[in-house]
Amino acid sequence: MKSLETYLRALRASGRKALVPYFVAGVTPHWVQHVEAAVHAGADAIEIGIPFSDPMMDGVVIQEAALRALQAGTTFDSLCTDLAKLSTSVPLVAMTYFNIFHHYGLERSAGKLQSSGMSGAIVPDLPLEEADQWRSACAAHDVANIFLVAPSSPADRISSIAKATEGFCYASARMAVTGKSNNTGEGARVVSEIRAVSDVPTYIGIGISTPEQARAASSVSDGVIVGSALVQIILNGGGADDVESFVGGFRRAIDE
Amino acid sequence: MTDSKVFMTPPDERGHFGTFGGRFVPEALMPACLELETAFVEAWSDSHFTDEYRKVLHEFGGRPTPVTPLHRLSEQLGLRIFAKREDLAHTGSHKINNVIGQTLLTKRMGKTRVIAETGAGQHGVATATAAARMGLECTVYMGEIDTERQALNVFRMELLGATVVPVTSGSRTLKDAVNEAMREWVTCVQDTHYCLGSVMGPHPFPWMVREMQSIIGTEASQQLQQLGVEEPDLVVACVGGGSNAAGVFAGFANSSTRLIGIEAAGGSAVGKGSPGVLHGMRSLLLQDEFGQIEEAFSISAGLDYPGIGPEHAYLAASGRAEYFAIGDEDVINALQVLSLTEGIIPALETAHAVAWILQEAGKQIPLGSTVLLNLSGRGDKDVAQVREILRAQS
C-alpha cells in the first residue's frame, strides 16, 4: 500500500474527517505561506495544482489562477523548488493535466513528485484505460495515483476505479467543472456506490464552497476537497491570515 | 509506403492509431464517449442509418459534389489538376458531411440538443444548419477573436436558430472554444451531443468524423475513374484538425497515390509540434519546453489550431502521408490565382493547398503529374478580410 493511503486510512481510523484544500502553485510569490497557513488551520492534506494552459476540468476561477501562475513563470520544476521551503507533516498531492507529466517524462515526473514531497497525484484527464504507464511510474516512486468517480459513472466503472485508485477515491459531487457552487449534489450517492465495492477512503470534491456544504459532505464521506472558493480568496488578494481563517471555518464546521 | 500495411482502417479498441489517439477525458465524460462509440458502431453498420445519411446528403447537402478539371491552371503549371468541389456542398464546405452524420446519430441516441466548437465558423454554421433541419437545439462556442473576424458567420448561425457563445478564455480562438465546449458538455451530457467538427478529440471522434467525411474520397475516386484517371499521382488537402484531408485521403489510402496535407505555417503541428495530450487525444501539438500548449497563428481561423488529428500524426509518423506548411503571404496570392484562372474563390484554408501546388509544380510535383486538389470550402466568408489585406498592401 502506498504511504499516502496508509496515512489517510490511519486518519480515518482516528475518527477525523479529512479536510483537503487546493492551491494553485505559483499564483502569488508567497503561495507556500498560504499552504502553511492552511495546515496550521487544520488541513489534513494539501492538493497542489500544477498550472496548465488548457485546464479542461476547471471553471473560471482556477483558469484565472493557472493563467496568473503561468504568467509569473511557474513551472513544474520551479514549484518543486518552492515546496522545499515548506515545512509540514501533512501529505501533499499534485493535481494537474496529463500533458505536464507526459512532456516531462512519466518516470521523471513520478521521481520529481517523490523527491519534492508529493506522495499522490490527481490527473483528471487520465482515465483508467490510458493510465497503465503512469501507474507503473508511480509504483516505482511511492506516488499514489488518485482516480475520480463521476455521478455519470456506471456501476462497473465505479468498481474498476475504486479498486485502482490509491490514497483515496475522489468522488465528484456534480456533473460540472470546478467552481460551480451548489449543494453537495450527488456526492452522497457516489460515495455509497464506491463504499459498496471498496473500503478505500473516499472524499467529496467539486462544488463545495461553504463550511455548511463541507459539513454535509463530510458526514456522508471520509473527507472533503475545497478548491475554487479558496483560490478565489487568493485571487482577490487575500493573504495567509485570510487563508487560515477560511480553512479554520471549514475545520470547525466539519468537526462539529 | 510499405505494401503490407493497410491504412485508414478502424483504430484499436481503445481508439489508438499507432501511439496516437486514445481517450484522455475526465471520468464524467467517459460514459458519454463509450455510449457514442457503441451508437456509432451500431449505426454505421445499419443500412437504414447509412441510407438515410446518404439520402440527406443528396437531397439536402447537394451531394455528390462534382470533380472539376482545372484546365487553365493545369496548362499554366504543366500539371493535370482536378478539384473535388466541396465548396459546392450546402453551407459551402465539406463540414456538412460530418454534421449530417452526427445530428442523425444524435437523434438515434435520443438526445435533443447539440453543442459545437467553431473556428472560422464553417463547422458552426454547418452544425446550426443540420440542427435546424433535424429539429435539434444548438449552441456554438466560438473564440471571441473569431467572432470578430467572422462576424457574418455568427449572424448566419443566429439566423439558423443557434446560440453563439463567445469564448473569452485563453487564446480566444478555436483551441479555447474546444475547451469551453468540453466543459459545457460535462454539465449537459444526458441530453446533449457534442458535435465535434474535426478528426480530433477523444475516441471515437477521430475515427467517426473520418468515416463521415470519407464520402469525399469515395466519390472522388469514382469520379476520377470516370474521367479516365485510374489513380491520381497526388492528393492535396489543407489540414487544421484535418477532417477534409482525412475524408479525401480515405479514398486513396491504399493506393500508390502520394497523400499531401498542407498546414498553416503558424499552426504546423507536424512540422513544429511534438507528441502531447490535449482535447482528449494524444497527438502532435505545438507546445513550449514545459508542455504548455502554444497558440497557433494563421490568417485563416479554420487552421488556427495548435494540434492535428491523431490519425494524421500516425500517417505522418508512418510516412504514408506527407505534411508541409504554407505561410500567410502565399495564401492570398493563391486565392487570387484560383479566382482569376478558374473562376473559383476558395476559402483561405483551401488556398493553403492551392499555394503549395503553385509553389511545387515542377519541383516536388513532377511536371505532367495528375493532382487531385480537395477544394474544401468556398471563400465567400473570407472576402471582407481579403479585401482589407489587399487594400493594406496597395
pLDDT tens digit sequence for A150-192:
999 999 999 999 999 999 999 998 888 888 766 657 899 999 9
Pair B332, B390: CB distance under 8 Å: yes
Mean pLDDT of chain A: 96
How high is the ipTM of this complex? 0.96
Q: Is A150 within 8 Å of B280 when comparing Cβ atoms?
A: no
Known active-site residue B117: yes
B376 noted as active-site residue: yes
A149 and B CB contact within 8 Å: yes
Helices (H), chain B: 30-44, 47-59, 71-77, 95-108, 122-134, 144-149, 151-159, 174-188, 205-213, 215-226, 243-249, 269-272, 310-318, 328-342, 348-360, 383-393
What mean pLDDT comes out for the span A42-68? 96
| Residue in chain B lying closest to A157 (CA) | B31
C-beta atoms of B31 and A157 within 8 A: yes
Q: In this complex, which of A52, A148, A152 lies closest to B189 when CB atoms are compared? A: A152
Which residue in B37, B74, B111, B117 is the catalytic one? Answer: B117
Dump the DSSP string for B120-155.
Answer: SSHHHHHHHHHHHHHT-EEEEEEEHHHHHHTHHHHH
C-alpha cell at B324: 508541409
**Candidates 3.40.50.20, 3.40.50.300, 3.40.50.1100, 3.20.20.70; CATH matching A3-255:** 3.20.20.70
Distance from CA of B222 to the nearest CA of A (A): 40
Which CATH number among 3.90.1150.10, 3.40.50.2300, 3.60.21.10, 3.40.50.1100 corresponds to the domain B63-93+214-393? Answer: 3.40.50.1100
Nearest-10 Cα torsion for B322, B323, B329, B335 = 70
A148·B27 Cβ contact <8 A: yes
The pLDDT, as a whole number, for residue B1 is: 43
Q: Tell me which residue has cell 480515405.
A: B250
At A183 the pLDDT is 60
Each residue's pLDDT tens digit, B266-308: 989 999 999 999 999 999 999 999 999 998 988 888 888 999 9
The residue assigned the cell 487520465 is: A126
Q: For chain B, list residues with pLDDT below 70.
A: 1-4
Active-site residue list of A: 47, 58
- CA-nearest residue of chain A to B279? A56
Strands (E), chain A: 18-24, 46-49, 92-95, 118-122, 144-146, 148-149, 169-172, 202-205, 223-226
B390 touches chain A (CB under 8 A): no
Q: Which residues of chain A from 151 to 210 reach within 8 Å of chain B, CB to CB? A: 151-154, 157, 161, 172, 175-177, 180
Bridging pattern class, strands B20-24 and B16-17: antiparallel
Domains B17-56+95-208 and B63-93+214-393 share a fold: yes
Q: Closest approach of chain A CAs to the CA of B277, in angstroms?
A: 5
Asked if the C-beta of B32 comes within 8 angstroms of chain A's C-beta atoms, the answer is: yes
Domain residues of chain A, as ranges?
3-255
Is A129:B23 a contact under the CB 8 Å cutoff? yes
Grid cell of A134 as nine digits: 503512469
pLDDT for position B4: 66
Nearest Cβ partner for A103 among B25, B32, B287 = B287
A211-245 pLDDT tens trace:
999 999 999 999 999 999 999 999 999 999 999 99
What residues of A are in contact with residue B275 (Cβ under 8 Å)? 102
The ranges assigned to domains in chain B are 17-56+95-208, 63-93+214-393
What does the pLDDT average to over A27-53?
A: 97
CATH of domain B17-56+95-208: 3.40.50.1100
How many degrees, rounded to 5, is the angle at CA A228 between CA B167 and CA A127? Answer: 75
Closest CA of chain B from A109, distance in Å: 12
Query: How large is the angle between the packed helices B205-213 and B215-226, nearest 10 degrees?
Result: 30
DSSP run (H or E) holding B24: strand B20-24
Q: Is the dihedral of CA A202, A206, A210, A216 positive or negative?
A: negative
Show the cell assigned to B64.
455528390
Q: What is the pLDDT of residue B249?
A: 98
**Mean of the pLDDT values across residues A59-71?**
96
Q: Does B287 lie at the interface with A, CB-CB under 8 angstroms?
A: yes
The nearest CA of chain A is from the CA of B303 a distance in Å of 19
State the pLDDT at residue B322: 98
pLDDT in the model for residue B2: 45
